[in-house]
Amino acid sequence: MKVQEKINKSILEKGAAYLVLIDPDDISGERLINFVRHCEASEVDGFLVGGSLMMSNILDEVLETISSATSLPTILFPGSVSQVSNKADAILFISLISGRNAEHLIGTHVIAAPIIKRIDLETISTGYMLIESGRQTTAEYMSGSSPIPRNKPEIATATALAAEYLGMKYVYLEGGSGAEKSVPNEMVKMVSSALSIPVIVGGGIRDSKTAREKVENGASVVITGNFFEDDNNWHLVKEFADAVHIKETE
Ligand code: 1GP
């Protein structure tokens, strides 16, 4: 089964899917093995791997480590073309549709496409939208684009609709890793109600209540990253998964 089908199956059966973002700069080796096993036991649906600023050159190694420890899918979440790897199960083929920077809309994609074809990697076309979240995030700075104002859900909705009409498979509302504030519930609600494709929400989600609110407002996929970089929080992975899997806990 393709990765996209697996995610859609989780959405259908559990109400929403919960993916954990792994930044290869932050975790590797035995600690990574323990973490992914713990996530699988806690009913996480898969892993995003990547980041807007990757300092180390260990992407392949990290992907191999994850695959050796779990059968959950690994999905590249690339901050740049150098983050394409045949060790992943799929790649979120993201176009930064909230910005007007041509490189991030289509430029880097042209460079990556032949590589993806050659390694026969599943692509999941995703409209990626940065949403203002308090202070400036790494994704905003690195992409040289300004986010959609958090009090303008109608701009987010129009942008997301355009993504759907362009044939994209998902829309990702991104507060940015470590965001001060998560994407506003009203925006999640307006965008999700207008769309027939799944809406992914991530950035600045640090408690299960917030994760649940995103699903209650229409999110089909919730992503967390930073929060579980601290081992002291690992015991809460199951609580987050349960909060996102709304059909199983209602
Ligand atoms: C970042 O949406 C993801 O791209 C996750 O954000 O690290 O803030 O959980 P956090």
What are the residue boundaries of the structural domains of the chain, listed by start?
3-249
Q: 53, 171, 174: which to mutate for ligand 1, most atoms within 8 A of CB? A: 174
203 alpha carbon – ligand 1 mean position (Å): 4
Alpha-carbon span 200 to 219, nearest angstrom: 6
149 alpha carbon – ligand 1 mean position (Å): 18
Residues 6+ apart with CB under 8 A from 207: none
Q: What pLDDT, on a 0 to 100 scale, did the predictor assign at position 90?
A: 98
Question: Is the minimum distance from the CB of 242 to ligand 1 under 6 angstroms?
Answer: no
22 alpha carbon – ligand 1 mean position (Å): 10
Kindly report, residue by residue over 18-74, the tens digit of the pLDDT.
Answer: 999 999 999 999 999 999 999 999 999 999 999 766 667 799 999 999 999 999 999
Contact 177/211 with Cβ under 8 angstroms? no
Q: 53, 188, 226, 233: which to mutate for ligand 1, most atoms within 8 A of CB? A: 226
Read off the tokens for 130: 């940065």
34 alpha carbon – ligand 1 mean position (Å): 21
Alpha-carbon span 186 to 188, nearest angstrom: 6
- Per the model's pLDDT, the better-predicted residue between 137 and 97 turns out to be 97
Residues 6+ apart with CB under 8 A from 119: 84, 85, 86
* SS3 state of residue 55: coil
Contact 124/170 with Cβ under 8 angstroms? yes
Kindly report, residue by residue over 192-229, the tens digit of the pLDDT.
Answer: 999 999 999 999 999 999 999 999 999 999 999 999 99
Q: What pLDDT, on a 0 to 100 scale, did the predictor assign at position 248?
A: 86
Q: What pLDDT, on a 0 to 100 scale, did the predictor assign at position 54?
A: 65
The answer to whether residue 165 scores a pLDDT higher than 90 is yes
Q: What pLDDT, on a 0 to 100 scale, did the predictor assign at position 233?
A: 98
Kindly report, residue by residue over 81-129, the tens digit of the pLDDT.
Answer: 888 999 999 999 999 999 999 999 999 999 999 999 999 999 999 999 9
Please return the burial class of 160, using the count of CB atoms within 10 Å of its CB with bins 0-12, 13-18 and 19+. buried
Contact 26/56 with Cβ under 8 angstroms? no
Top CATH class of 3-249 equals alpha beta
Alpha-carbon span 156 to 130, nearest angstrom: 9
pLDDT band at 80 (very low <50, low <70, confident <90, very high): confident
The answer to whether residue 76 scores a pLDDT higher than 80 is yes
The answer to whether residue 250 scores a pLDDT higher than 70 is no
Residues 6+ apart with CB under 8 A from 35: 22, 27, 228, 234
pTM > 0.95: yes
What is the pairing mode between strands 170-174 and 199-202?
A: parallel
Question: Is the minimum distance from the CB of 227 to ligand 1 under 6 angstroms?
Answer: yes
Alpha-carbon span 58 to 56, nearest angstrom: 6
